[in-house]
């Protein structure tokens, strides 16, 4: 039974990675298509320009600036994608919760933009470094955010705050909007208790007077008994 649960967890985690990779891949294609189009425009302008002409130099500058901006955005994507990918190199590592969540939030922003939902983060700086599973932590927060994001409407907000709590770190997710919860948990939410158990993390939920939900995950270092995970 335990083996079946772990197999399911791994399949769900791979599905989580696949969703984020697919979204990022789409963004790369958009940037590369625009770069190709701008380069083609420069080529056309150069072909039309007579030797010694300079009337189009300002247009060249704007086009070059646009290309450089897209290149910078693509480089930033590569940086976050590289960090995200390397989180899976080691099941256990000393980690900065801020760095781990910044990667995850960056990769989710495209999906939030598609629904015109604001994804806002606020991180305390003086946080303890913890020893835990960085990739599984990203997956746990995904299991909280993704089902909510699918239910949110234009103008809703997801606020993610990270704060110190003694030797632990609290990740607070505020879901601000008119959520219409289904009768049953989604597959992502269904996996969350098992994921949190492996991480040694605690979770609490509450709602304010407007019905907005707050989810708090408290995580700290775990010991080497983690071997049961494999």
Per-residue model confidence as pLDDT tens digits over 71-105:
888 888 878 887 787 777 777 889 999 999 999 99
How far apart CA 22 and CA 28 sit, in angstroms, is 10
Select the more confidently predicted residue: 88 or 158. Answer: 158
141 closest CA partner among 114, 175, 117: 175
Q: What is the mean pLDDT of the chain?
A: 84
Select the more confidently predicted residue: 55 or 61. Answer: 61
Give domain 93-229's CATH number out of 1.10.490.20, 3.30.465.10, 3.30.565.10, 3.40.50.11820.
3.30.565.10
Residue 179, CA distances (Å) to 56, 99, 154, 158, 207 in order: 52, 29, 12, 12, 12
pLDDT over 90 percentage in the chain: 42
pLDDT score recorded for residue 77: 82
Lookup: tokens for 66: 């646009």
pTM over 0.85: no
pLDDT score recorded for residue 228: 45
Could you report the per-residue pLDDT of 101-156, keeping only the tens digit for each?
999 999 899 899 999 999 999 999 989 999 999 989 999 999 999 999 999 999 99
Select the more confidently predicted residue: 27 or 175. Answer: 175
pLDDT over 70 percentage in the chain: 88
User: Which of 4-18, 43-57, 162-176 has the weakest average pLDDT?
Assistant: 43-57
């Amino acid at each position: 039974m335990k083996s079946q649960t772990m197999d399911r967890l791994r399949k769900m985690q791979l599905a989580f990675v696949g969703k984020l990779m697919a979204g990022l891949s789409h963004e790369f294609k958009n940037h590369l298509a625009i770069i190709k189009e701008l380069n083609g425009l420069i080529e056309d302008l150069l072909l039309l320009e007579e030797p010694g002409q300079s009337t189009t130099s300002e247009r060249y500058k704007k086009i070059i600036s646009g290309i450089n901006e897209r290149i910078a955005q693509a480089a930033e994507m590569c940086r976050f994608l590289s960090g995200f990918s390397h989180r899976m190199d080691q099941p256990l590592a000393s980690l900065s919760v801020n760095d781990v969540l910044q990667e995850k939030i960056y990769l989710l922003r495209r999906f939030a933009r598609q629904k015109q939902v604001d994804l806002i983060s606020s991180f305390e700086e003086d946080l303890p470094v913890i020893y835990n599973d960085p990739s599984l932590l990203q997956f746990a927060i995904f299991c909280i955010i993704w089902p909510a994001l699918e239910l949110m409407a234009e103008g809703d907000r997801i606020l993610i705050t990270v704060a110190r709590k003694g030797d632990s770190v609290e990740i607070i997710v505020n879901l601000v909007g008119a959520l219409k919860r289904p009768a049953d948990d989604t597959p992502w939410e269904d996996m969350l208790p098992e994921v949190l158990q492996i991480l040694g993390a605690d979770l609490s939920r509450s709602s304010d007077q407007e019905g907005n939900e707050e989810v708090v995950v408290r995580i700290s270092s775990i010991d080497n008994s983690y071997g049961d995970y494999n």
